[in-house]
């Protein structure tokens, strides 16, 4: 059995982003510095942290993976000497009118170590609420992502992905121990579903869930639920920021996860063929 990494502190940043990119990045930097000064090893920003579009409008400031936002985040990670999750931004796709909703993980060196593109797009018409159709401007990603790091094996999802347990099961079977869910969950659906879904994904897959969120009104057409949370592999909400911009943090203990998976070995009893996986495919040992 490999040695577990020492416990480390994660910080989930909660923001009320707008179309004003300069303002948003100023707040993101301020909160990241505060988190790093308080001992965070990894700082996670929410979905659309750099700018958030009004419903029906094109995404502001789309750019490629070598654009200024990526450089800004890389430089911040290197300066602070900590891991940074760029929750998501609008990635320009060469030759396409649609964008990707893309999340990037940066190492303390500034190196990009993981790229995840949101797989499930939020198209919904809830009676009495604004209709949202993300697929008009965004193309879906096509694969789950798990990356092995000195902090453990990290998996990624974005917002609406949270409603699809099969994605999280694939992440768990690929070895994920901590799954990040940067989000801009709508205020209405969030009040009913956000916390039950976070806890369910943690319990089902016996993993840590880190969910930095957007909060409050972004403009006249869009508002987010907030409630940035960190949930342990037993389903306990160990840190929560309900409202307002700020930072919530908690210690990630991989040994705690390993004990839970050993005592209640649910993942060893998964039928991978029900997910279209080979039955002989072994889950990486904890």
Q: What is the pLDDT of residues 7-33, one digit of tens each?
A: 999 999 999 999 999 999 999 999 999
Q: Classify residue 282: in a domain, yes or no.
A: no
Q: Classify residue 193: in a domain, yes or no.
A: yes
Q: How many domains does the chain have?
A: 1
Q: Classify residue 115: in a domain, yes or no.
A: yes
Helix, strand, coil: what percent of the chain each, to 5? 30, 30, 40
Domain that residue 193 falls in: 8-275
Report the half-sphere exposure of 261 (CA within 13 A, side-chain side): 26
pLDDT per residue as tens digits for the range 100-122: 999 999 999 999 999 999 999 99
The CATH code of the domain that includes 241 is 3.60.110.10
Q: Classify residue 75: in a domain, yes or no.
A: yes
Candidates 91, 134, 159, 245; catalytic one: 159
Q: Classify residue 1: in a domain, yes or no.
A: no
Percent of the chain's residues with pLDDT above 90: 83
118 is a catalytic site residue: yes
CA distance 249 to 229: 9
Q: Classify residue 249: in a domain, yes or no.
A: yes
What is the rounded average pLDDT of the residues 169-198? 96
Candidates 118, 134, 207, 245; catalytic one: 118
pLDDT band at 282 (very low <50, low <70, confident <90, very high): low
**Is residue 89's pLDDT more than 90?**
yes
CA distance 182 to 231: 13
CA distance 185 to 160: 8
Poorest-confidence range of 51-55, 117-121, 221-225?
Answer: 51-55
Tokens of 243: 């409202």
Q: Please report how the helices 68-80 and 21-37 are oriented relative to each other, as an axis angle in degrees rounded to 10.
A: 20
């Amino acid at each position: 059995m490999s040695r577990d990494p020492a416990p480390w502190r994660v910080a989930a940043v909660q923001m009320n982003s707008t179309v004003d990119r300069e303002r948003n990045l100023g707040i993101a930097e301020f909160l990241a510095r505060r988190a790093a000064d308080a001992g965070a090893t990894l700082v996670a920003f929410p979905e659309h942290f750099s700018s958030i579009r009004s419903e029906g409008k094109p995404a502001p400031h789309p750019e490629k993976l070598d654009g200024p936002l990526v450089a800004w985040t890389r430089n911040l990670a290197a300066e602070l000497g900590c891991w940074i999750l760029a929750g998501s931004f609008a990635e320009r796709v060469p030759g396409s009118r649609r964008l990707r909703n893309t999340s990037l993980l940066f190492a303390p060196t500034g190196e990009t170590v993981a790229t995840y593109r949101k797989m499930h797009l939020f198209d919904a018409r809830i009676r009495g609420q604004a209709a949202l159709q993300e697929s008009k401007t965004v193309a879906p990603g096509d694969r789950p992502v798990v990356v092995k790091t000195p902090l453990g094996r990290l998996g990624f999802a974005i917002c609406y992905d949270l409603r699809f347990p099969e994605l999280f099961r694939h992440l768990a079977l690929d070895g994920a121990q901590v799954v990040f869910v940067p989000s801009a969950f709508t205020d209405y659906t969030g009040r009913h579903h956000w916390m039950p879904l976070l806890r369910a994904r943690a319990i089902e897959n016996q993993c840590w869930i880190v969910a930095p969120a957007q909060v409050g009104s972004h403009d006249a057409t869009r508002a987010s639920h907030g409630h940035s949370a960190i949930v342990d592999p037993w389903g306990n909400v160990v840190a929560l920021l309900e409202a307002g911009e700020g930072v919530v943090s908690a210690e990630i203990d991989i040994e705690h996860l390993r004990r839970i998976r050993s005592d209640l070995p649910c993942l060893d009893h998964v039928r991978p063929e029900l997910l279209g996986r080979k039955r002989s495919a072994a889950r990486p040992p904890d």
